[in-house]
Amino acid sequence: MEVSVGDVVMPGDSLKDIKSTKKEGKNERENVILGPGLRREGDKVYVCKAGILKRRDPAVYYVDSYQKRYIPSRGENVVGIVTQKSGDIYKVDVGASEQATLSYLAFEGATKKNRPDLQVGDVIYAKMLVASKDMEPELVCVDSQGKENELGVLSSDGMVFTCSLSLVRKLLNPECPLFRILGRNQAYELAAGMNGRIWIKARSVQETIAAANAILAAEYTVASEMQKLCARIEKTLLLVT
């Protein structure tokens, strides 16, 4: 079946209209980028995931699908748990098919003598440096300038919980108001990994759990209802009278 942008697509559907966008530019051809859920076979483009087909300017096509299992992809920020220390690398569980490696030199200010103090069981926020289907994924906790930015070890008095990958994508969308509304009446610190793990720390245990519940409830809440959702949670926490 042929589908176009905005439709609900199934694996095996083929895309139409892709060629016509190529001609839109006067002389130069526009490059079409196929995102997740799409693949090219010969001169046809097939869908390989079920979801909603979306397009973003200039010509980026992708399928927005529901997923729970993380498949590593380069450049994404993830929340992981250190499971093993061996030699000069740490093994980190990020919820993918394989454990990721993290070099002890990949921290801000780390040298051969000055090792970072990481224990088994620590939660870290790191960036995927290498992610290919044939190789072990590799993480780093610094950017290309050698600075930490927001990456690194997350403090142990926070809480980590898992959710679906599509929820994380929804929350990290700049148009999603949840974090802003939630932050109006309570202070919290949060790290959302693209691997479906969220680390959160608020002022008290109650507030942490309440904020986590608000995030999980947001999966089936549209943006306009989020105000109501947060108000209800603040009421139960007695933050507002």
Partner 1 sequence: MVEEDTEIDCVLRPMNCEINLLSRSDGSTMFMQGDTTIVAGINGPMEVKSQKMAYDKLSIEVTYTPLTGPAKVDDRLIETYIRESCESAILVSLHPNTMICINLQEVQDSGGLLACAINASCLALINSGLSMKFTIAAVSCMIEKETGKIIMDPDNTQLKNAKAEFTYAFDSINKDIVCCHSVGRFSQSEFLASVDKCKQVSQFIFDFYREITKKYANTV
Question: Site for partner 1 (CB under 8 A): which residue of 34, 48, 129, 171?
Answer: 48
Binding flag, residue 49, partner 1 (CB under 8 A): yes
Take residue 185 and report the two structure tokens written for it. Answer: 């009446």
Nearer to partner 1, 46 or 188 (CB): 46
Binding flag, residue 74, partner 1 (CB under 8 A): no
- The span from the CA of 141 to the CA of 44, in Å, is 40
Nearer to partner 1, 78 or 202 (CB): 78
Binding flag, residue 33, partner 1 (CB under 8 A): no
Binding flag, residue 137, partner 1 (CB under 8 A): no
Binding flag, residue 40, partner 1 (CB under 8 A): no
Binding flag, residue 71, partner 1 (CB under 8 A): yes
Question: Site for partner 1 (CB under 8 A): which residue of 4, 6, 8, 203?
Answer: 8
Binding flag, residue 51, partner 1 (CB under 8 A): yes
Nearer to partner 1, 64 or 148 (CB): 64
Yes or no: say if 1 and 44 are a contact pair by the CB < 8 Å rule: no
Binding flag, residue 11, partner 1 (CB under 8 A): yes
Q: Which residues sit at the interface with partner 1, rule CB under 8 A?
A: 1, 8, 10-12, 37, 39, 46, 48-52, 64-69, 71, 97-98, 133-134, 165-166, 170, 219-220
